[in-house]
Amino acid sequence: MNILLAEDDTNIATIARLALEKLSGHDLTWVDNGQKAIELLKSNSFDVVLLDEMMPEKNGLSAAQEIREVLQLKVPIIFLSAKSHSDDVDNFMKWGQGHIAKPFDPKNLSQLILDILQKT
């Protein structure tokens, strides 16, 4: 699977990269903010986009809204976020396919993504 990860925390991005590339064999492209994710999506195809909610330049919800409304892409979006209030999760579900809570277990990250994708 070809995955785009937008995550501003280098430690979390490194853990996700190791989990998804080394443990699960996926291809991962990492950017550190939502605006860079938007730019990549204009000229590249991904199987899924993982968006952190709290990032500089463009947060995850703003990026997801632009992916859907401006770029009009149907690429699955999954939010990676420590936010778990019901209002936050409702917004994640409005603009994406699911939510993976931080901190996540690196050994299970690929399976969590696959489980969300199978539900849609």
Domain boundaries, given as residue ranges, for the chain? 2-119
pLDDT given for residue 15 in this prediction: 96
Whose CA is closest to 3, among 23, 25, 28, 22? 28
- Flag whether pLDDT at 85 surpasses 90: no
pLDDT given for residue 84 in this prediction: 81
pLDDT given for residue 120 in this prediction: 72
pLDDT given for residue 38 in this prediction: 97
pLDDT given for residue 11 in this prediction: 96
pLDDT digits (tens, 9 = 90+) for 39-83: 999 999 999 999 999 998 899 999 999 999 999 999 999 999 998
Q: Are 20 and 28 in contact (CB under 8 A)?
A: yes
User: What whole-number distance in Å separates Cα of residue 112 and Cα of residue 25?
Assistant: 15
pTM attached to this predicted model = 0.95
Tell me which fold the domain 2-119 belongs to. Rossmann fold (3.40.50)
